[in-house]
Amino acid sequence: MGVTQLKTASHKSESDAPDVEQTVRDILADIEANGDDAARKYAERFDGYSGNLVLTRDDIDEAASQVDPQLKDDIRYAYDNIRAFAEAQKATIGDFEIEVRPGLFAGQRAIPCNTAGCYVPGGRYAHVASALMTVTTAKVAGCRNIVACSPPQKGKGVHPAIAYTADLCGADHILAMGGVQGVAAMANGLFGLPKADILVGPGNQFVAEAKRILFGRVGIDMFAGPTDSLIIADTTADPEFVAWDLVGQAEHGYNSPVWLITDDRALAERVMSRVPELIATLPQMNGQNAAAAWRDYAEVFLCDTREDMAALSDRMAPEHLHVQAADLEWWLKRLSCYGSLFLGEETTVAFGDKASGTNHVLPTSGAARYTGGLSVHKYMKLVTWQRALPGAVAPLAEATARISRLEGMEGHARTADIRLEKFGGSQHADRTALIRS
CATH class of 20-221: alpha beta
Residue spans of the domains in the chain: they are 20-221, 226-372, 389-436
Provide the whole-model pTM.
0.92
Q: What is the pLDDT of residue 146?
A: 98
**320 catalytic, yes or no?**
yes
Indicate which residue of 319, 322, 360, 428 is catalytic.
319
Angle at 22 between CA 20 and CA 26, to 5 degrees: 120
Q: What is the pLDDT of residue 435?
A: 52
The series of mean pLDDT values per 10 residues for the chain, 437 residues long, is 88 67 96 97 93 96 97 98 98 96 97 98 86 98 98 90 98 97 98 98 94 97 93 98 98 95 98 98 95 97 98 98 98 98 97 97 95 96 96 96 97 96 69 53
**360 catalytic, yes or no?**
no
Kindly provide the b/e burial profile for residues 11-49, where b requires at least 16 CB atoms within 10 angstroms of the residue's own CB.
Answer: eebeebeeebbeebeebbebbbeebeebbbebbeebbeb
Indicate which residue of 127, 173, 252, 320 is catalytic.
320
Q: What is the pLDDT of residue 437?
A: 54
Q: Do domains 20-221 and 226-372 have the same CATH topology?
A: yes
Dist CA 295 CA 11 (whole Å): 9
Burial class (CB in 10 A: 0-12, 13-18, 19+), 420: buried
CATH superfamily of 226-372: Nitrogenase molybdenum iron protein domain (3.40.50.1980)
Dist CA 390 CA 278 (whole Å): 74
Q: What is the pLDDT of residue 14?
A: 55
Dist CA 350 CA 358 (whole Å): 11
Q: What is the pLDDT of residue 352?
A: 97
Distance of CA 267 to CAs 273, 324, 398, Å?
Answer: 10, 12, 68
